[in-house]
Amino acid sequence: MDDRVALRISLAERPGLGGLDGGWWPQSRDLEVELRDLIDHFPGAAGRIVGVICSQPDWEDSDDPASHIATRDRRVEVSRFPGGADTHLLIIRTAGHGRLHMLVVPPTATLTLGKRALRLAAHSSSRLSPALVMRTLGPAALRPVAVAAALTS
């Protein structure tokens, strides 16, 4: 995994005001790899991740999804929203800081749209939902990078 880039995350200055508390732009649809990266590189000031709740449609299908992710120094509980609801949402449970509602930017988003999504998700006065952010960005945010680049050239 030498080709990985630094963790792409944005956090609101004052989380917990409603809506989203930030955004996360994973590099693939491999939940185990991406969560391990998120947990191992999560900003310490935001709290230590002790659990996550994710939306199954955002990730590669798995016959037997993991209930825990092993990281460098601990195991973190992983659960899923019932019925595959809340696409593009990840709830992070932190020790001592409560819950953070994070937009999950599709890994196939273009650089411009991915950065814009992270900014929108972290805007602390915003009460945007993941669905509204994705609608704001438009269908190009969901297309594979090669297709989106061809459409903008």
What tens digit of pLDDT does each residue of 95-148 get? Answer: 977 899 999 999 988 899 999 999 999 986 667 788 888 887 776 655 554 333
Mean pLDDT of the chain: 82
pLDDT of the residue at 148:
36
User: Which tokens is 144 given?
Assistant: 């594979």
Can you tell me the distance from the alpha carbon of 106 to that of 2, in angstroms, rounded to the nearest whole number? 21
Can you tell me the distance from the alpha carbon of 79 to that of 68, in angstroms, rounded to the nearest whole number? 8
Residue 81: how many other CB atoms lie within 10 Å? 16
pLDDT of the residue at 142:
55
Whether 115 is in a domain gets the answer yes
Whether 1 is in a domain gets the answer no
- Counting DSSP H helices and E strands in the chain, the numbers are 4, 7
pLDDT of the residue at 146:
38
pLDDT at 41 over 70: yes
Number of independent structural domains in the chain: 1
Whether 134 is in a domain gets the answer yes
Can you tell me the distance from the alpha carbon of 21 to that of 9, in angstroms, rounded to the nearest whole number? 11
Residue 47: how many other CB atoms lie within 10 Å? 17
Q: Which residue range forms the structural domain that includes residue 77?
A: 9-152
Give the rounded percent of residues in the chain with a pLDDT score beyond 70.
80
